[in-house]
Amino acid sequence: MGSFFAGIKAGTLGGILYIGGLSFFDAALLYAFKPDALIRISQNLPQICPSINSTSIEACFNSVIVVYLPYTAFLGFFVSLFFAGFFGWGYESFPGRRPLIKGEAIAIIVALALVLGDLTGIYLGPLPTELLATFFVAWTVLYGFVMGNLYSRYTRVVRFESSDDRLVKVLLDGRNYTGKSRTIAHNSAHKIRAEVDEGASFKGWIVGGGVTIEDPRSFETIMEVNGDGSLKAMGAKKY
């Protein structure tokens, strides 16, 4: 489990870049291929501009620019934000070991959602469609790079260890992470607990890097994460 809120923070900035860029490119294509757009509008006016089907084709074109594109951008942004939160929450489950590769994985998911939701643009003909597809793929790759980079900026990696995992285990916010590394939001505080076997005793915590704890001798305390680091629970058998 990663950090949901770090995913949202990364998704907010990354989504603005991604969806904003797509909308800008859509608008540029509409103006560059305006004659084709006007022909399509004349053929499909009620479907493209149902609320103004009694007005001119030019008015419909302007409506597409100032109403339709912002509307699809609004929907697209919240689609990307939803998956960004999912990305942060399930970060460790995404394929790849590096943040940038994981970022590309979520970028592909967001791109597929936009395609399935018909939020990528208006069909104007073979050439503009090819240009849009090429830009869409390249922009999605860049979006994945940005998402991976931003998420790693807003999180830190903490390794949870035990002197003997048969005697003592490390619980972070109620979950056992002994022997695992997890991405945790930067400058965040979490409840940690040492789960000690009946035949053992707790001997304290050892921290490293950017990890600090309130009480190193208490089996249950608060951990603060200000950088990459490690946390180790010490335990020993009772004699």
Residue pair 160/178 in contact by the 8 Å Cβ criterion: yes
Between residues 135 and 61, the one the model is more confident about:
135
Residue at a domain's end among 154, 172, 188 = 154
Containing structural domain, residue 201: 163-237
Residue type, 175: R
Same domain assignment for residues 10 and 94: yes
Instruction: Give the contacts of 59 (CB within 8 A, at least 6 positions apart).
Output: 49, 52
Cα angle value 110/111/113 (rounded, 5°): 65
Residue pair 226/185 in contact by the 8 Å Cβ criterion: no
pLDDT digits (tens, 9 = 90+) for 45-81: 666 676 554 467 788 888 888 888 999 999 999 999 9
The pLDDT of residue 239 is above 80: no
Same domain assignment for residues 123 and 60: yes
Residue pair 123/29 in contact by the 8 Å Cβ criterion: no
Same domain assignment for residues 189 and 98: no
Same domain assignment for residues 98 and 206: no
pLDDT digits (tens, 9 = 90+) for 195-227: 998 888 999 999 999 999 999 999 999 999 999
Q: What's the domain count of the chain?
A: 2
